[in-house]
Amino acid sequence: MSKLRFNITISLDGYVAGPNQSVENPLGEGAIHIHDWALPTKTFRSLHGDASGGETGINDDVLREGFENIGATIMGRNMFGPVRGPWGKDPWQGWWGDDPPFHHPVFVLTHHAREPLSMQGGTTFFFVTDGIESALKQASQVANGKDVALGGGAKVFQQYLAADLIDEMEIHIVPLFIGRGARLFDNFDGRKVKLESIRTIAGPGVAHLKYRVLK
């Protein structure tokens, strides 16, 4: 049976993005360096079409593991792009160019219907308007026994955790204070969530914390 796995980087004060996200500033103000730990790794470069090298070691091992055995991804519309409201005549195509790094079906939660968007490399974006349970059901069906990855943003994570639908979560904590923006652990009663620690690893510039969510 496939698992729903959540994987995200947060600042030391708990933010996944700063305020005022835009096309020019996709991570929001003050968060430009939140993913510095991942950018130089061999896995990150390979996923984004650069096979020329990259750093190996703890951070690369953790990042590579996070993408293993994933057959589909779910994400919020904020992660897909900065556009709000109806999609319009020339709709946003995603942050990742013509060949996104997923290479499997991706289900985007939205209030506005849109036809599926097929990209190079095996990625197709499906736009889900009937809720988080529907997105998970569809993703699990096409994952063919593999796990489903849950991407950002914070609100999507909060909805799935509150609904007791997440099986594993890996939080990468970086020594950065953002102060404002999208905070991961807001807007739900965390006292109801029970976690079992799977591992804690310190890597260069980041701490990797992995948990199992107890049902």
pLDDT in tens, 78-120: 899 888 899 988 899 999 999 999 999 999 999 999 999 999 9
Using the predicted structure, report yes or no on whether residue 42 has a pLDDT greater than 90.
yes
The stretch 40-48 carries a mean pLDDT of: 93
What pLDDT was estimated at residue 22? 87
What pLDDT was estimated at residue 82? 86
Q: Chain-wide mean pLDDT for the chain?
A: 95
User: Which residues, including other chains, have CB under 8 Å from residue 61's CB and lie 6 or more apart?
Assistant: none
- Match 């609904």 to its residue by tokens: 163
> Quick one: pLDDT band at residue 51, thresholds 50, 70, 90?
confident
User: Which residues, including other chains, have CB under 8 Å from residue 31's CB and lie 6 or more apart?
Assistant: 11, 15, 16, 17, 18, 176, 178, 181
Burial class (CB in 10 A: 0-12, 13-18, 19+), 25: middle
Instruction: Report pTM.
Output: 0.94
What pLDDT was estimated at residue 53? 87
Question: What is the C-alpha separation between 163 and 157, in angstroms, rounded?
Answer: 10
4-86+98-214 belongs to CATH 3.40.430.10: yes
Using the predicted structure, report yes or no on whether residue 1 has a pLDDT greater than 80.
no
What pLDDT was estimated at residue 18? 95
Question: What is the C-alpha separation between 102 and 75, in angstroms, rounded?
Answer: 12
